[in-house]
Amino acid sequence: MYLVGLTGGIASGKSTVSAMLRELGCPIIDADLIARQVVQPHCPAYRLIVKHFGRDILLESGEIDREKLGAIIFTNPEKNRLLNTITHPEIQRAMIKQVLHHFLLGHRYVILDVPLLFETRRLTRFLKHTVVVYCDPDTQLSRLMARDSRSQDQAMLRIAAQLPLGEKVALANHVIDNSGSQEETYKQVLKLHRRLEDSLDFLLVRALVIAMATGIGGLIFLMVKPMIF
């Protein structure tokens, strides 16, 4: 099994592409979903966030108000870095558990749906393929304004806070252009899925893991590392 990173920009359509891949039977590990799970009241990250950000960020239910917390970190880079140091280790641990689960089930590849894949670069060295969901700037702006009921200035600020989609495209192995209709996007997703399914890259990775488990992995790792990475 090998890993495929899926990313995009705000309102570019990454969630749409992720849903299409899921319908095709691809196992998806959603970093956003995990990020919400690791800050639930019973989790260690929750206690640290409340300690550092105060109880003013909580809803009446005791859960973290994502809008309030988001507003704080959006305007304060230091607070953003602090939040990342609290949540990222928990998120990564949860993702590793899910990766191992899918490996044991025998999947050929797993998709890691990570919004800030290229911004943080924490996971890129583990990925065989990277996919960016792109749309042209005008479409991205209009979609964001309509989706979140934001003014043009507010939407532009949100887009500017992320790495430009054009730069992400330059860093990716594959691009899904979501500027047009869903039918056009689906054709591209289906083509990508077939290409990943037909790839034999998973055989090298699986052979490496099995070899390491049997004690002869060191030599084989040196032999196949150039082909895998």
pLDDT above 80: residue 204: no
Residue 229 clears pLDDT 60, i.e. is over it: no
Region 16-20 average pLDDT: 97
Q: Rounded to an integer, what distance in angstroms lies between the CA atom of residue 110 and that of residue 30?
A: 11
**Which of the four pLDDT bands, split at 50, 70 and 90, describes residue 121?**
confident
Question: How crowded is the C-beta side of 106, counted as CA atoms within 13 Å?
Answer: 0
Residue 161: predicted pLDDT: 87
pTM of the model: 0.82
Average pLDDT value for the chain:
88
Count Cβ atoms within 10 A of the Cβ of residue 82 and give its class: 0-12 exposed, 13-18 middle, 19 or more buried: middle
pLDDT over 70 percentage in the chain: 87
Cα separations (Å) of 60 from 45, 52, 56, 66, 109?
Answer: 19, 19, 10, 13, 41
Q: Residue 181: is its pLDDT beyond 90?
A: yes
Please check the confidence at residue 60 and state whether its pLDDT lies above 80.
Answer: yes
Contact 176, 19 (CB under 8 A): no
* Closest of 226, 225, 127 to residue 171, by C-alpha: 127
The predicted pLDDT at position 220 comes to 37
Which segment of 59-68, 87-96, 215-224 scores lowest on mean pLDDT? 215-224
pLDDT of amino acid 106: 87
Lowest mean pLDDT among 138-147, 182-191, 220-229: 220-229
pLDDT score of 221 more than 60: no
Q: What is the pLDDT of residue 201?
A: 61
**DSSP code of residue 173:** S
The pLDDT of residue 212 is above 70 = no
Instruction: Flag whether pLDDT at 29 surpasses 50.
Output: yes
Does residue 218 surpass a pLDDT of 60? no
- pLDDT for res 120: 85
In this prediction, residue 219 carries a pLDDT of 42
